Amino acid sequence: MPNRSLDTHLFDPARRPELDWGRRFNIIQCVARGLLYLHHELYLKVLHRHLKVSNILLDENMNPKISDF
């Protein structure tokens, strides 16, 4: 992914300003929607039991993708 993982933006002081509160809120909402889809709406039930910031990848538009299943 072009913007690597969420932890690179949260824990790197040089990249932290790229995540304003609007982007952070968008990331939180998208991850919550993704988990809801995985747990309730997907035909095959998928449980993601190891969710952490390094498993949330960010695309070129800073949209999160849940990884490491």
49: confidence class by pLDDT, cuts 50, 70, 90: confident
pLDDT at 68: 79
Question: For 4, left (φ over 0), alpha (ψ -120 to 50), or beta?
Answer: left
Mean pLDDT along residues 25-30:
96
Of residues 44 and 46, more confidence is placed in 44
Q: How many domains does the chain have?
A: 1
Q: What is the pTM of this model?
A: 0.84
CATH code, domain with 61: 1.10.510.10
Classify residue 52: in a domain, yes or no.
yes
Answer yes or no: is 11 within a domain: yes
pLDDT digits (tens, 9 = 90+) for 8-22: 999 999 999 999 999
29 found inside a domain: yes
> What is the average per-residue pLDDT within 38-43?
81
Query: What is the domain extent for residue 10?
Result: 6-66
Residue 35 CB partners (closer than 8 Å, separation 6+) = 48, 51, 66
- d(C-alpha 19, C-alpha 3), whole Å: 12
Do the domain assignments include residue 1? no
- Is 14 inside a domain boundary? yes
